[in-house]
């Protein structure tokens, strides 16, 4: 059962300020690109590396990874500490620490550094989920829930992403996929505590995944000499539309549920069109995607951390004593859709 949640963010930057202060010149003051950049549903996001102060577009991957370590460790530590406090647990109580990230690498990794800084026991089990992209929170949560059921010991899941480190150099002909990437993504660390028992929380009932291997090239995350470069096709929402019904039905059917029985939806805000497609296919009301759109507007797409941010928003908006089923859903390279079914109590 998810009994605690916490998040931490670097400083915020407004979307208009980001455009006027950096991206307008980065893209040659192109008005078409400006409309795309300002029309992606993001009003502000957080950036550990503000391009107006630090233009990392020419940095090597090695330099970016060193900055990743410096910035991600304190953010992750704060998010985990807040989740533990929310659950009323001490770091010494943790039996498994799962860390998901696709925006940086280091050894010793965040799992070792943060566990040591917070005082988790030397025998704590650790699991690092790397390079799965935006859907990584779901398999991380599933692994934590399986551990908790099997061992009867608490687990912590941390998703820490610094997408601002991967600003790409300008090209002779602007890549609209890169424009959308630079417009959408923000930085965040989000954590959840999963316990074997709890008076109230979100019980993890099951997780599911569906991968369309034939569409693998539509969303990519490539390691280059200048950081990680995202490939993003405008066909992604249409491909997801063909799978979301079956994926959700397959998750819900074993519990005798249909989409209409779900009280809350924590949909990953991969972009406004993706949210629109999911809502249309599942017959969701505007109120059922409000939390997702709000997180997109205020935080941007924070890769794997975003679904946990939406889940936290749903939990905080839930009336005292309310119960019901919640579906968390995210999308990423593969092309992959991952979902989790939770029950509030």
134 annotated active-site: yes
| β 2-8/336-344 pair status | unpaired
Instruction: Compute the distance between CA of residue 335 and CA of residue 211 in angstroms, rounded to an integer.
Output: 6
Distance CA(283)–CA(342), nearest Å, equals 20
| Gap between the Cα atoms of 66 and 46, Å rounded | 19
Which of 134, 159, 302, 338 is flagged as catalytic?
A: 134
3-state secondary structure of 204: strand
Angle (CA) 136-137-143 rounded to 5° is: 95
What distances in angstroms separate CA 36 from CA 11, 15, 32, 160, 258, one per listed residue?
24, 12, 7, 27, 36
Asked if 33 and 199 count as a contact pair (C-beta separation under 8 A), the reply is no
Asked if 192 and 138 count as a contact pair (C-beta separation under 8 A), the reply is: no
CA dist., res. 172 & res. 176, Å (int):
12
The residues assigned a catalytic role are 134
């Amino acid at each position: 059962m998810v009994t605690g949640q916490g998040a931490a963010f670097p400083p915020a930057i407004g979307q208009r300020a980001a455009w006027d202060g950096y991206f307008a010149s980065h893209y040659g003051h192109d008005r078409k690109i400006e409309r795309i950049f300002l029309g992606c549903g993001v009003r502000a996001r957080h950036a550990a590396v503000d391009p107006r102060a630090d233009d990392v577009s020419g940095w090597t991957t090695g330099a970016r990874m060193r900055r990743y370590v410096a910035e991600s460790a304190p953010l992750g530590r704060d998010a985990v500490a807040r989740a533990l406090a929310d659950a009323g647990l001490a770091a010494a109580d943790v039996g498994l620490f799962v860390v998901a990230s696709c925006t940086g690498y280091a050894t010793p990794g965040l799992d070792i550094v943060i566990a040591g800084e917070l005082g988790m026991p030397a025998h704590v089990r650790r699991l690092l989920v790397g390079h799965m992209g935006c859907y990584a929170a779901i398999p991380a949560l599933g692994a934590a829930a399986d551990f908790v059921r099997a061992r009867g010991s608490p687990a912590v899941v941390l998703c820490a992403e610094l997408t601002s480190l991967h600003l790409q150099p300008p090209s002779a002909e602007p890549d609209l996929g890169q424009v959308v990437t630079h417009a959408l993504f923000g930085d965040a660390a989000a954590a959840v505590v999963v316990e074997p028992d709890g008076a109230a929380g979100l019980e993890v009932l099951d997780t599911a995944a569906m991968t369309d291997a034939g569409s693998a090239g539509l969303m990519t995350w490539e390691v280059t000499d200048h950081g990680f470069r995202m490939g993003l096709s405008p066909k992604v929402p249409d491909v997801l539309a063909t799978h979301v019904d079956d994926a959700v039905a397959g998750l819900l059917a074993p519990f005798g549920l249909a989409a209409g029985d779900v009280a809350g939806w924590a949909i990953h805000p991969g972009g406004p069109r993706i949210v629109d497609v999911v809502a249309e296919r599942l017959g969701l009301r505007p109120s059922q995607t409000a939390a997702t759109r709000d997180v997109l507007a205020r935080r941007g797409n924070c890769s794997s951390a975003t679904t946990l941010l939406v889940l936290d928003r749903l939990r905080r908006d839930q009336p005292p004593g309310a119960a019901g089923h919640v579906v968390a859903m995210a999308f990423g390279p593969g092309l992959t859709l991952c979902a989790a079914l939770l029950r509030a109590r």
